[in-house]
Amino acid sequence: MRSTSIAKGRVGALAAVAVGVALVASGCSSTSSGSASSAAAAATSAAAAATSAAAAATSAAAAASSAAPASDANLDIAFVPKNLGNPYFDASDKDGAAAVAEFGGTYQEVAPSQASPTGQVPFLNTLTQQGVGGIAISAVDPKAACDALNQARDAGIKVVTYDSDTEASCRDLFINQATAEGIAKAQVDIMSKAIGDKGEVAICSGAPNAPTQNQWIDLMKQDFAANHPDIKVVDVVYGEDVDQTAFDKVAGLIQKFPNLKGIIAPDTVCIAAAGKYLSTSDAKGKIVVTGLGLPNQMKPYVKDGTVKEFALWNPGDLGYLASWALKALIEGTITGAEGDKFTAGKLGEYTVGKDGMVLLGPPTVFDASNIDNFNF
């Protein structure tokens, strides 16, 4: 089992797989094929192993054959991020595609250009019509995509959420980046320390309905109230996963709260917008910015002193894990039940936890001392 503590300087590997992107009317899609021949070779040797195991012991043969890829498995995998154009999802889905290539499947990415509750639905319906084998979705809303996802599942498609969960009844597994408590605490701890444990703090998130971000926000508010009574959360605003909207929301907060001491953005779009806004503002160095950000986007603001510390997991590893989880579901080596185990390529073995949750690992805290070690 993986620890939920905060690991400083945990370096994740990024696979270098170029994914071609073709723009279509209201969104984009990209497709790549993995190495079918290497998968076939692996299947052949696994089958040979299963045969010899069968000669030795029936139970060993059963175990070996359940680990071998089913020859007719539909490893046509689609990633549906909240929207296109967010570097966070570029990173997660690139490594999702790398995993699919490793196990010899076919990959595509489809999503609307704007993150809205119902925007993902038509893309899901199209994937169901296409008869893909598995869908990995980062949900903009806990319920809005549920009917479409359950229609896909009724048609035999395996569904995992990654990054942002739906209600548990709409998916087979949730590939969770880190515990919600760990993610919330990392941000509260950084902020509390940075502002001397007192003053006004505001939150800038992504989409207003985003289930996972809203859970982190609730937990942060509870932690501030229980453990930091002199810190007041004065407002929560939403940048809607759009750079300019997030920038305007940050500007609005700074105007509205002249005594503001800090902004927490549990959202890579808004923390980058806050860094950008403050780096050229009089409030630079006076208002603390932290939250969840991508090292590559935040490097300029860490180097110019606007931002001292922020956190994130490796989004590439999250996408990579989602693809391997789909493979295990599609091949029937797991059903998504608690205690099910599967191997996720270079990341090793994972176990399905309660409520169909698979935990990637602890978040990492970034600052000037380690940010150059990361490239995502």
- Site residues (vs ligand RAM, CB under 6 A): 82, 86, 88, 138, 163-164, 206, 241, 267-269, 292
Residue closest to 276 by CA, chosen among 252, 302, 301:
301
- Smallest gap, in angstroms, from Cβ of residue 109 to ligand RAM? 15
Helix axes 243-256 and 268-279, enclosed angle (nearest 10): 60
Q: Which is nearer to ligand RAM, 176 or 333 (CB)?
A: 176
- Smallest gap, in angstroms, from Cβ of residue 213 to ligand RAM? 6
In sequence order, what are the residues at sequence separation of 6 or more whose Cβ sits closer than 8 angstroms to the Cβ of residue 162?
92, 96, 136, 137, 138, 174, 175, 318, 319, 321, 322
- Smallest gap, in angstroms, from Cβ of residue 373 to ligand RAM? 20
Other beta carbons within 10 angstroms of residue 245's beta carbon come to 17
Measured in degrees and rounded to the nearest 5, phi and psi for residue 217 equal -65, -45
Q: Which is nearer to ligand RAM, 220 or 269 (CB)?
A: 269
Q: Cα–Cα distance between 177 and 165 in angstroms, integer?
A: 11
Q: Which is nearer to ligand RAM, 106 or 290 (CB)?
A: 290
- Smallest gap, in angstroms, from Cβ of residue 186 to ligand RAM? 12
Q: Which is nearer to ligand RAM, 90 or 189 (CB)?
A: 90
- Smallest gap, in angstroms, from Cβ of residue 164 to ligand RAM? 5
Q: Which is nearer to ligand RAM, 88 or 174 (CB)?
A: 88
- Smallest gap, in angstroms, from Cβ of residue 56 to ligand RAM? 47
Q: Cα–Cα distance between 376 and 374 in angstroms, integer?
A: 6
User: By Cβ distance, which residue is nearest to ligand RAM?
Assistant: 88
Q: Are 305 and 170 in contact (CB under 8 A)?
A: no
- Smallest gap, in angstroms, from Cβ of residue 334 to ligand RAM? 25
Q: Return the residue matching tokens 């932290």.
A: 290
Q: Cα–Cα distance between 85 and 154 in angstroms, integer?
A: 31
- Smallest gap, in angstroms, from Cβ of residue 340 to ligand RAM? 25
Q: Which is nearer to ligand RAM, 269 or 352 (CB)?
A: 269
Q: Which is nearer to ligand RAM, 88 or 342 (CB)?
A: 88
Rounded CA Rg of the chain? 21
Measured in degrees and rounded to the nearest 5, phi and psi for residue 121 equal -60, -50
Residue closest to 375 by CA, chosen among 283, 265, 295, 259:
295
Q: Tokens at residue 361, please?
A: 């690992």
Q: Are 292 and 311 in contact (CB under 8 A)?
A: yes
Q: Cα–Cα distance between 312 and 178 in angstroms, integer?
A: 9
Q: Which is nearer to ligand RAM, 82 or 158 (CB)?
A: 82
Q: Which is nearer to ligand RAM, 14 or 330 (CB)?
A: 14
Q: Are 238 and 249 in contact (CB under 8 A)?
A: yes
- Smallest gap, in angstroms, from Cβ of residue 82 to ligand RAM? 6
Q: Cα–Cα distance between 79 and 93 in angstroms, integer?
A: 7
